[in-house]
Amino acid sequence: MVNKSYKSSEIIPGVRYSVGINDGKEFRRACFTGTKLLNGKPIMCFKTVEDVDLQINPSYMSFILEEVVDVIDLTAEDVSL
């Protein structure tokens, strides 16, 4: 049984997620940018890879899955490319 409550602080800014909302829509490859207040309510902010801003009320969120991204080790030589 899961007894841990949902907290937006567990979602890490800069990490990509797949986000599902309760009307069945899914947003893939959305980077979490942080939260903001809208009329006193917290809103979760994302930016998709298509450079579209996405704001979601956490009460409408069905799921959020962290996407697996390969870590690339950049050396000083690679950065200059």
Residue 11 — very low, low, confident or very high, per pLDDT cuts 50/70/90?
confident
pLDDT at 76 over 70: no
**Nearest of 57, 17, 20 to residue 35 by alpha carbon:** 57
Residue 28 lies in a domain: yes
Residue 80 lies in a domain: no
Residue 64 lies in a domain: yes
Residue 62 lies in a domain: yes
Are residues 46 and 56 in contact, defined by beta-carbon separation less than 8 angstroms? yes
Mean pLDDT score, 20-45 = 92
Residue 56 lies in a domain: yes
Residue 47 lies in a domain: yes
Residue 7 — very low, low, confident or very high, per pLDDT cuts 50/70/90?
low
Number of residues assigned to the chain: 81
| Residue 75: predicted pLDDT | 55
Residue carrying the six token digits 């870590």: 71
The more confident residue out of 6 and 23 is 23
Residue 53 lies in a domain: yes
Query: What is the span of the domain harbouring residue 51?
Result: 19-68
| Residue 53: predicted pLDDT | 93
For the chain, what is the domain count?
1
Residue 14 lies in a domain: no
CA dist., res. 11 & res. 66, Å (int): 9
